[in-house]
Amino acid sequence: MADINIDEYVTPGWFEHANCKGIDTEIFFPLFNGSSTMDSRMNKKRALAYCASCIVRENCLFRGMYSPSDTGIMGGSTFVQRSRERRLIREGKPREITAHWKE
């Protein structure tokens, strides 16, 4: 993906309106916090539920897509989903989680 200045494309101060602001962010890193598989699944589900009703989800997803080193759940997507999406974009294949984005 193109090297861009993310801040030019997202709403300034977007994280102030994040559903996850102020909560324990451990659940957003379900595979990296040393918890059991069952706990990881539960944490992933809980994190995605926060994202589902988050009004700044698109800003977060954009940031996650253009920050490959960000490993947690962002914008309702997992690290693996974003990695796959980047590959689909590079290969010119139909997108999944960013299918609604304009070119």
Q: Which residues contact ligand SF4 (rule: CB under 6 A)?
A: 18-20, 28, 50-51, 54, 56-57, 60, 73-76
Residue 14 DSSP symbol: G
Minimum Å gap between C-beta 79 and ligand SF4 is 12
Query: 55 is written with which tokens?
Result: 């009004």
Say if residues 20 and 27 touch (Cβ distance below 8 Å).
no
Residue with smaller CB distance to ligand SF4, 4 or 49: 49
73 phi and psi angles, rounded to 5 deg:
-75, 125
Minimum Å gap between C-beta 57 and ligand SF4 is 4
Residue with smaller CB distance to ligand SF4, 60 or 97: 60
